[in-house]
A and B are shown apart, each in its own frame.
Chain A
């Protein structure tokens, strides 16, 4: 399997994603935002960063980048798309995912380890994950508080589209474990078909024991399993 790691002006997690994917044997190519070609069987990664400087609003300008039309088509055709941090913000701005990401409740940037408890365990990204524990994914954002209206939140929960909630290492979802004030502790959500995942935490940062943890690789392994690659 190959991955297309998108690069917008201001993206900074592209190299980290390439590195993390290489840890589980996924080869990547970087795709500049002005390009338009994506292979149907590629995993499309929208990495973190400050695309276009986060000017105007996070992700608001990136959604108009030439590559985004291809991302839209890729998603509609059932291709896999994951947006991490700024990538999640872009997917929301592009209406590939519902809701929005606003300023952290603390009004401050937060860079820290968090534990994310899988909720959906059937999507291509989460099917191998253990819902009874938290996975260590660091966060690094100033605007990561997930908000949506009440019907949307209910719909996400009723249709098993919450991918992760902030919680504890032993899998409890608590108010204290919520680092940014996200509604319902939501850290990541899926689209209706389950082929698009957006999440604020950075699984690509927990990709090897030397960095303290490799929990993030569970997501990539799940993706590999979903396309029939054994790891």
Chain B
């Protein structure tokens, strides 16, 4: 087939990649073969720029059951035969064009990754990034994304229990929508997404196949531009009702009839192409599909369109031949279409027929062997200038009380209640800690166990130093989980970056992965699943690097998990550092952003200290010493204290605390490796101090929780005023204009 530049551009394949394909095939590809290869070699499916860096990731640990990339999501062992699977995935580009459907189908896609493994989805979290809400378009995207997540999640009956959202100018027009799903089930019900058993049928279940989403994977692998709107047909439309039926049918199949099937695979990016080829690659088999057997919702679709359609709510089931009728009847009971569209072969070939005509026939291995481009990174000179900024050169804060109120009401720190009250976060009756705390906690029904989950990443730290910033993201996610009393077990990552073909982005990508891996290793939280979303660029430039971290921790005694709300009379202790902090700790902080409207300085983290601090908090909790805990992150000490006071509806008497020469750094600096913990009395406080001294971790007694004033060093604001600013901040930001 003579191939022109336009045809290659359509599948985002370079001339060189095309030559590589011809060489591997030893002939020119057919149109269908080119389309299928383009999709599977795209960054979105093939990870061609990120895979060469995956070797940095620690992937094994005491809890880990699957290796990263082995299945649709990673699995950890909760003990006593219980398994937890989780994964986070991006849906950035679709959400930029169609925020509602983009976000909704992002939720649908990540859920299918979970129940494809036979596990029942028990929780969703969403990590979101937008441009500043002062901009009308950013507000439109924000509202649309939140509505889409709710519209889908609420309908399928999986609680949306957590996540985070941050606004930064670099996300203007290129929002990040990363959805994370968690599934729990019995180990014996875990399914594989492999096309095993020569001759077994391939059964396509769920929605009919339409023209929606063709080239979605390719579209996600190029920069957004003025012309991106033309890609609107590449955005899929979700049907959560169908998803709910699929989910129930697949979970029931795994739980009750796992012996009927060899494999279960979701159809995501690149649709039938990726699901069938990946399933064959996993099993070392081949597949043959007759596209004339695929039920369509549009007329006149050709093989190319059928194979690359990204119509949502479809699953590929590989039943054992002798149980085909059972499986078809099972899906009929759930009022779902299920059709045999092909079978497993022994030739390691992907053969696609349209009736009698073969339209594609390629070794499956070619699809699974995308070109790899080790990033040719170059440290940008701008980084030196940014890091050389001395936050101490700015004058110190003048009115700390007013500044605290301003920060509490700012778009990045204000309460997220406006968002999560639109999400059903309670369905399934297992949400023990609801959204609004450090991490959400979900009970494992039928046991005393629970899992805690949090998503985190402050891209500003990465903008200043990608290696340190990524390590800080892992540390913060782990701290959030620890604050509930859970032991961090493993993480999933969603690598959101700009165009990796540019040397500065390639540098950020590699540095961030190194930093992420270092922290994951030290904190014993291996990477078990993940996703890369590169090419997050608009004509305005690249996003700040944002490797979102989804951390999951394990709780052995669910009755004893901790919230951030202390009780009247409790003593509040700062763990991990002295109150006094150097001005350098303002680098990348929300204070620096809100008050000085700048970004500069050099953040840092001592991972060894971080690990000791986290162990100390877990140790103190295991001894029953703690009544509440909260990690220190965005907004620093003053904001964290205020958040605990707001949660308790009580003030704090800590006016006497020595704050040090730089008020701003002590109150609003964002040094990592710090917690606030509440203890009932001085005896418990003394025990914590003893444990801390053994662990060589600093502790400061701040004061008692009481009264209705937040009195912290020079700060004195009423809880009511703080709560008012914090509760209404986001709504006000969204209302403007």
Give Cα A36 to B635, complex, Å.
59
Interface residues on A, range: 20 to 34
**What B residues does A110 contact at CB under 8 A?**
421-422
Given contacts A50-B155, A53-B239, A140-B154, contact A111 B244 (CB under 8 A): no
Is A221 interfacial (CB 8 A cutoff)?
Answer: no
Is the pair A109, B429 in contact by a Cβ cutoff of 8 Å?
Answer: no
**What B residues does A9 contact at CB under 8 A?**
241, 244-245, 334-335
Give Cα A12 to B154, complex, Å.
10
Residue of B at shortest CB range from A112? B421
**What A residues does B423 contact at CB under 8 A?**
109, 111
Task: State which residues 407-427 of B face A: CB under 8 Å.
Answer: 420-427
Question: Which one of B154, B244, B428 contacts A109 once the chains associate, using CB atoms below 8 Å?
Answer: B154
**What B residues does A112 contact at CB under 8 A?**
421
Is the pair B241, A211 in contact by a Cβ cutoff of 8 Å?
Answer: no
Give Cα A44 to B110, complex, Å.
35
Nearest Cβ in chain A — how far from B100, in angstroms? Answer: 13
Is the pair A50, B241 in contact by a Cβ cutoff of 8 Å?
Answer: yes
Residue of A at shortest CB range from B247? A12
Is the pair B421, A111 in contact by a Cβ cutoff of 8 Å?
Answer: yes
**What A residues does B424 contact at CB under 8 A?**
109, 111, 140
Give Cα A20 to B241, complex, Å.
25
Is the pair B422, A109 in contact by a Cβ cutoff of 8 Å?
Answer: yes
Question: Which one of B156, B334, B429 contacts A205 once the chains associate, using CB atoms below 8 Å?
Answer: B429
Task: State which residues 148-173 of B face A: CB under 8 Å.
Answer: 150-151, 154-157
Given contacts A9-B335, A19-B429, A109-B424, contact A210 B443 (CB under 8 A): yes
Nearest Cβ in chain B — how far from A215, in angstroms? Answer: 14
Give Cα A50 to B150, complex, Å.
13
Give Cα A104 to B107, complex, Å.
24
Task: State which residues 389-442 of B face A: CB under 8 Å.
Answer: 420-429, 431-432
Task: State which residues 176-225 of A face B: CB under 8 Å.
Answer: 202, 204-205, 207, 210-211
Nearest Cβ in chain B — how far from A20, in angstroms? Answer: 7
Question: Which one of A10, A52, A111, A207 contacts B429 once the chains associate, using CB atoms below 8 Å?
Answer: A207
**What B residues does A20 contact at CB under 8 A?**
429
Give Cα A12 to B155, complex, Å.
8
Is B459 interfacial (CB 8 A cutoff)?
Answer: no
Give Cα A49 to B155, complex, Å.
7
**What A residues does B36 contact at CB under 8 A?**
none
**What B residues does A72 contact at CB under 8 A?**
none
Nearest Cβ in chain A — how far from B238, in angstroms? Answer: 11
Is the pair B239, A111 in contact by a Cβ cutoff of 8 Å?
Answer: no
Given contacts A109-B423, A110-B422, contact A53 B157 (CB under 8 A): no
Is the pair B429, A142 in contact by a Cβ cutoff of 8 Å?
Answer: no
**What A residues does B429 contact at CB under 8 A?**
15-16, 19-20, 204-205, 207, 211
Given contacts A50-B155, A52-B241, A111-B421, contact A12 B427 (CB under 8 A): yes
Is the pair B155, A54 in contact by a Cβ cutoff of 8 Å?
Answer: yes
**What B residues does A53 contact at CB under 8 A?**
155, 239-242, 244
Question: Which one of B156, B334, B420, B432 contacts A211 once the chains associate, using CB atoms below 8 Å?
Answer: B432
Nearest Cβ in chain A — how far from B91, in angstroms? Answer: 20
Residue of A at shortest CB range from B143? A108
Binary per-residue interface labels of chain B (436-456) against chain A in the complex, 1 for a CB within 8 Å, 0 otherwise: 000000010100000000000
Give Cα A112 to B436, complex, Å.
12
Is the pair B244, A50 in contact by a Cβ cutoff of 8 Å?
Answer: yes
Give Cα A204 to B150, complex, Å.
21
Give Cα A198 to B588, complex, Å.
53
Is A87 interfacial (CB 8 A cutoff)?
Answer: no
Nearest Cβ in chain B — how far from A8, in angstroms? Answer: 11
**What B residues does A109 contact at CB under 8 A?**
150-151, 154, 422-424
Is the pair A108, B241 in contact by a Cβ cutoff of 8 Å?
Answer: no
**What A residues does B241 contact at CB under 8 A?**
9-10, 50, 52-55
Nearest Cβ in chain A — how far from B425, in angstroms? Answer: 6
Nearest Cβ in chain B — how far from A29, in angstroms? Answer: 16
For the complex of A and B, list the 9 residue pairs with the smallest distance between their C-beta atoms, beginning with the closest: A12-B157, A53-B241, A50-B155, A140-B424, A16-B429, A111-B424, A109-B422, A109-B150, A112-B421
Task: Give A residues with C-beta under 8 Å from B.
Answer: 9-10, 12-13, 15-16, 19-20, 48-50, 52-55, 108-112, 138, 140, 142, 202, 204-205, 207, 210-211
Task: Give B residues with C-beta under 8 Å from A.
Answer: 150-151, 154-157, 239-242, 244-245, 334-335, 420-429, 431-432, 443, 445, 558-559
8 A-B contacts, Cβ less than 8 Å apart? A9-B335, A13-B157, A16-B427, A53-B242, A109-B150, A112-B421, A205-B429, A211-B431
> Apart from A108-B421, A109-B154, what are 12 other A-B pairs with CB-CB below 8 Å?
A16-B427, A50-B240, A50-B244, A53-B155, A53-B239, A109-B423, A111-B154, A140-B427, A202-B426, A204-B429, A205-B429, A211-B429
